[in-house]
Structure 1
Amino acid sequence: MGILNITPDSFSDGGRYADFGDALRRAEQMLLDGADILDIGGESTRPGAPPVPVDEELERVLPLIEQLREANVPLSVDTYKPEVMRHSIAAGADMVNDIWGFRMPGAIDAVRSSHCGLCVMHMLGEPQTMQLGTPDYTDVVGEVRAFLAARVAELEAAGVARARISVDPGFGFGKAVIEHNYALLAHLAETAPHVPQGVAPYPVLAGMSRKSMLGALVNRPAPERVAASVAAAVCAVERGAAIIRVHDVAQTVDALKIWGAVRDAARSEAASAQD
Structure 2
Amino acid sequence: MVEPLAFSEESWHRPRLVGIVNVSADSFSDGGRFLAPANALAHARRLLAAGADVVELGPAASHPGSEPVTADEEVRRLDLVLDRLVAEGIPVSVDSFQPRTHRFAAARGAAFLNDIQGFPDPARYAELADTGCRLVVMHSVQRRGPATKVRTDPQTVLTALERFFDQRLAALQAAGIDRERLIIDPGLGYFLGATPEPSLAVLAALRAIRTRFGVPIMVSPSRKSFLRAITGRELAEIGPASLAAELYAASHSVDFIRTHDVAALRDALTVLTALNQYAGASR
Q: TM-score, normalised by structure 1?
A: 0.91
**Cα–Cα, structure 1 residues 185 and 166, in superposed 2: closer, same or farther, change >3 Å?**
same
- Structure 1 residue runs without a partner (length 5+): 196-200, 271-275
Cross-structure match for 2:269:
256
**Cα–Cα, structure 1 residues 105 and 152, in superposed 2: closer, same or farther, change >3 Å?**
closer
Cross-structure match for 2:200:
182
Total equivalences in the alignment: 265
Structure 1 position 134 matched with structure 2 position 151? yes
Which of 91, 97, 116 is residue 80 of structure 1 equivalent to? 97
- Structure 2 residue runs without a partner (length 5+): 1-17
Equivalent positions of 1:34-49 (< 5 A) are: 34-49=51-66
3-state SS of the aligned residue for 1:139?
Answer: helix
- Identical aligned pairs, as a percentage? 36
Cross-structure match for 1:217:
230
**Cα–Cα, structure 1 residues 126 and 51, in superposed 2: closer, same or farther, change >3 Å?**
same
How well do the aligned residues superpose, as a CA RMSD in angstroms? 1.7
Cross-structure match for 1:19:
36
C-alpha distance in 2, partners of 1:220/1:109? 45
The answer on whether the counterparts of 1:30 and 1:249 sit within 8 Å (CA) in structure 2 is: yes
Cross-structure match for 2:46:
29
C-alpha distance in 1, partners of 2:266/2:257? 10
The answer on whether the counterparts of 1:144 and 1:191 sit within 8 Å (CA) in structure 2 is: no
3-state SS of the aligned residue for 1:100?
Answer: coil
C-alpha distance in 1, partners of 2:212/2:230? 32
The answer on whether the counterparts of 1:6 and 1:15 sit within 8 Å (CA) in structure 2 is: yes
C-alpha distance in 2, partners of 1:190/1:142? 13
Q: State the Cα deviation string for residues 209-259 of structure 1 (Å, max 9, x = none).
A: 011111112222223211111111110000111100000011110011112
3-state SS of the aligned residue for 1:134?
Answer: coil
C-alpha distance in 2, partners of 1:159/1:240? 27
Cross-structure match for 2:252:
239
**Cα–Cα, structure 1 residues 83 and 93, in superposed 2: closer, same or farther, change >3 Å?**
same
Q: Which contiguous aligned blocks of 4+ residues in structure 1 show a shift greater than 6 angstroms? A: none
Greater RCO (CA < 8 Å, at least 6 residues apart): 2
Deviates more, 1:129-138 or 1:45-54: 129-138
Q: State the Cα deviation string for residues 144-185 of structure 1 (Å, max 9, x = none).
A: 122122111110000000100010000020334311101111
Deviation at 1:90, TM superposition (A): 0.4
The answer on whether the counterparts of 2:56 and 2:92 sit within 8 Å (CA) in structure 1 is: yes
C-alpha distance in 1, partners of 2:69/2:273? 40
Which of 167, 170, 181 is residue 187 of structure 2 equivalent to? 170
C-alpha distance in 2, partners of 1:105/1:203? 22
C-alpha distance in 2, partners of 1:258/1:107? 43
Deviation at 1:106, TM superposition (A): 4.4
Q: Residue type matched to 2:140 in 1?
A: M
